[in-house]
Chains A and B, each alone.
Chain A
Amino acid sequence: MSNRLGASGWATRLLATGLAAAVVVAVAAGGAVLAGQGDSPPDDPLAIPEYQPENVSVDYVGAEGEISPDNDVTTGSGTVVIDDGHGNRFDRSTIEPLVRGLTRVGYTVEFYRSGDLADALDDAKAFVIIDPAREYRQGDVDDVRQFTGQGGRLLIAGEPNRVSVSASLFGTSIQRQDSALTTLGSAYGVSIGTAYLSNQESADANYKFIRTQPTDAAELGGVEETTMYTAGAVRMRGGETLLRTAPGTLESSTDDERGRHAVAVRRNDVVVTGDKTFMQEDRFRVADNEVFLTYLVEFLASSERDPDRSISSESEEEDENGTPDGNVTTATSAYTGDVD
């Protein structure tokens, strides 16, 4: 391993210096990083192949496109309620593309901020929960369960744990932020990892901004690749993986748990994502994010909720699907989203 040259070794090294370019090319051919010599002649002592743009630049992930939901897929009109009553951390830029897609297909958007959640969902077709700061009380969980039991669609966009830096006239403070989805998530057999996923090789520039791909079974309307920005792994009992990370993705809390992690999972009328940032104004066009967001708009706007339907029917359906039915990540695991 050491590079012991010695006196004769140094002479050898001097002789080898002139061949350095050839060595570099050979290394590149062997799959190493450096691919060329740039414009420098091969024996130029000032050559810096390691700095040449072709060896340094990062392939840019394109960002273009628009949400284009199909009116034939959606149910015409209805109301989508966005939860804003549990300290949810989002702003207009987070939801604007989603709202734009929903209004295109004739849906209206309302916010739930306080009061009886069941009343707020009474006339709704779909419910969107983004990164709540406070856990759902049991009554709220029951209301949401009843809602989806009646065919209402539910989209949950969670996040891994983060650190928030707040600045004010009185100084700065650092707070830890968790997506408070334990009680609601457990009711649906879903959890979102607290550690962010990272991949140094398959990323939108930064290791925390990972590229994700649909599974073969997922029908996402032509999504080839999406990006997520500091996402948590999604694990769901009996769900179907919609999007998963590239191989070799690391869950940051572990040293060696590399693999493909689910970051978007669906089971029946519930979709859960491990990131909210992919849908925000300055990210939703990156890669095929807009196509995936179109899928989510169509998912929400194709609800066939029947308020007269009882929750028991969903329970029966869940029992039937409580086994790994639809689990495309691993055939034997009870959880969709186990590392593949």
Chain B
Amino acid sequence: MVGLAIAPVAFQTTESDGTVAVIPLSGGITGGTSSSVGSMLEQARENPDIDAVVIVANSGGGSAAASEELYLQAKRTAQEMPVVASVDASAASGAYYTIAPSDVIYAKPASLVGSVGVLANAPQSVEPNEFIGTTGSNKLSGFDDRGFYYLLENLGNSFYNAVETQRGDRLELSRGELAQAKIYSGTQAVENGMADRIGGRQAAVTAAAEEAGLENYEVRTLRPRGETVFLSRNNYLAADAPNGQMVSSDYFMNTDDNSPTFLMLPASYLGNDGEAVEPTTSVNATRTTTPPATTAEVRP
């Protein structure tokens, strides 16, 4: 009888103060990723039981537009509750963009962090030609050569601004250094202010709970709906998302179309079958296939 009387009291004392939601950001960032991860961030904001969010990043980035959407979602969430990021294998380019609004970014020594920038296949000069009629001189290519680089720089500036705004004084890289788009190890990232602390997922969860003032808390891992695709084999091996599927760079590059695809991911991810290749020129190699025997200069 005594035990029965005490038991509810004991239950009361161990009851959770709230919930830390863990949101995985895994694989290449596409419109689908933006939709699924974005919906999880939205759910975290709307669910009164969730007090803090941990974004576990394991992605090399992807589509520029999708990455921007995720940045906005993460920023909005961070305005309403503590958001802490944990970098697993990598948070490069668009993935780093996504976690930039986090209050604290944890990385492991072997995590890859950075690659702040945009790349895109340059438009080919295809006009005038005798096969397709257009109403305007840039209808086929979309840009002239200089116009393309101005557009690319605008996308880059948005990215740099976002990182500088979110990291503030913690960032010890100048604009020029940031824009070089280097990839750093987790240790280097903590040193240069791209990340805050060395640690893994558990440390991030603990920090998020502390930020939210939770002593006893539940950890609820939200899962993306649908299938997750991976561009990088390294990320695939380290990720725990279900239905992981490897894709080649063509998945992002849309090689059937001449129009530029703006990507926020390291160029080394753009090899076929997800295997890393060194020069960026491979991107253009797949694109410079218009007339036979033409030569395009791509300067290193």
Interface string of B274-298 (1 = CB under 8 A from A): 0000010100111011101111111
Query: Which of A6, A33, A282 contacts B160, CB < 8 Å?
Result: A33
Interface string of A34-49 (1 = CB under 8 A from B): 1000000000011011
Judge whether A161 is part of the interface by a CB distance below 8 angstroms.
yes
Question: Smallest Cβ distance from B276 to chain A, in angstroms?
Answer: 16
CB within 8 Å for A163 and B298 given contacts A3-B170, A33-B175, A172-B285: yes
Judge whether B88 is part of the interface by a CB distance below 8 angstroms.
no
Q: Evaluate contact between A165 and B154: CB separation under 8 angstroms.
A: no
Q: Evaluate contact between A6 and B210: CB separation under 8 angstroms.
A: yes
**In the complex the two chains form, what is the Cα distance from A24 to B146 in whole Å?**
31
**In the complex the two chains form, what is the Cα distance from A196 to B75 in whole Å?**
38
Residues of A within 8 A of B103 (CB): 3, 5, 10, 13
Q: Evaluate contact between A5 and B82: CB separation under 8 angstroms.
A: yes
Q: Evaluate contact between A196 and B299: CB separation under 8 angstroms.
A: yes
Number of interface residues of B (CB under 8 A): 54
Q: Evaluate contact between B299 and A163: CB separation under 8 angstroms.
A: yes
Q: Evaluate contact between A2 and B157: CB separation under 8 angstroms.
A: no
Q: Evaluate contact between B146 and A5: CB separation under 8 angstroms.
A: no
Interface string of B229-262 (1 = CB under 8 A from A): 0000000000000000000000000000000000
CB within 8 Å for A58 and B295 given contacts A10-B82, A49-B165, A200-B176: no
Residues of B within 8 A of A134 (CB): none
CB within 8 Å for A206 and B153 given contacts A2-B197, A56-B158, A163-B298: yes
CB within 8 Å for A172 and B176 given contacts A34-B161, A34-B165, A46-B76: no
Judge whether A205 is part of the interface by a CB distance below 8 angstroms.
yes
Q: Evaluate contact between A165 and B104: CB separation under 8 angstroms.
A: no
Q: Evaluate contact between A58 and B196: CB separation under 8 angstroms.
A: no
Query: Which of B190, B285, B299 contacts A160, CB < 8 Å?
Result: B299
Q: Evaluate contact between A205 and B299: CB separation under 8 angstroms.
A: no
Question: Smallest Cβ distance from B70 to chain A, in angstroms?
Answer: 14
Q: Evaluate contact between A58 and B211: CB separation under 8 angstroms.
A: no
Q: Evaluate contact between A56 and B154: CB separation under 8 angstroms.
A: yes
Q: Evaluate contact between A57 and B154: CB separation under 8 angstroms.
A: yes
Residues of A within 8 A of B160 (CB): 33
**In the complex the two chains form, what is the Cα distance from A17 to B79 in whole Å?**
7
Residues of B within 8 A of A32 (CB): 164
Interface string of A1-27 (1 = CB under 8 A from B): 111111101100100010000001001
Interface centre among A7, A17, A27, A248 (most CB of B within 10 A): A7
Within 8 A of B (CB), among A161-206: 161-169, 172, 174, 177, 196, 200-201, 204-206
Which residues of B pack against A, CB within 8 Å?
A: 72, 75-76, 79, 82, 103-104, 144-146, 149-150, 152-154, 157-158, 160-162, 164-165, 168, 170, 172, 175-176, 179-180, 190, 193, 196-197, 210-213, 279, 281, 284-286, 288-290, 292-300
Which residues of A pack against B, CB within 8 Å?
A: 1-7, 9-10, 13, 17, 24, 27, 32-34, 45-46, 48-51, 55-58, 60, 63, 160-169, 172, 174, 177, 196, 200-201, 204-209, 230, 248, 252, 282, 286
9 pairs from A and B in contact (CB 8 Å cutoff): A10-B212, A27-B168, A33-B164, A46-B76, A50-B165, A51-B162, A163-B298, A172-B289, A205-B152
- Besides A162-B300, A205-B146, 19 more A-B contacts (Cβ < 8 Å) are A5-B104, A7-B212, A10-B213, A27-B168, A33-B161, A50-B158, A50-B162, A55-B161, A56-B157, A56-B158, A58-B154, A162-B297, A164-B295, A165-B281, A165-B298, A167-B285, A167-B292, A167-B293, A200-B175
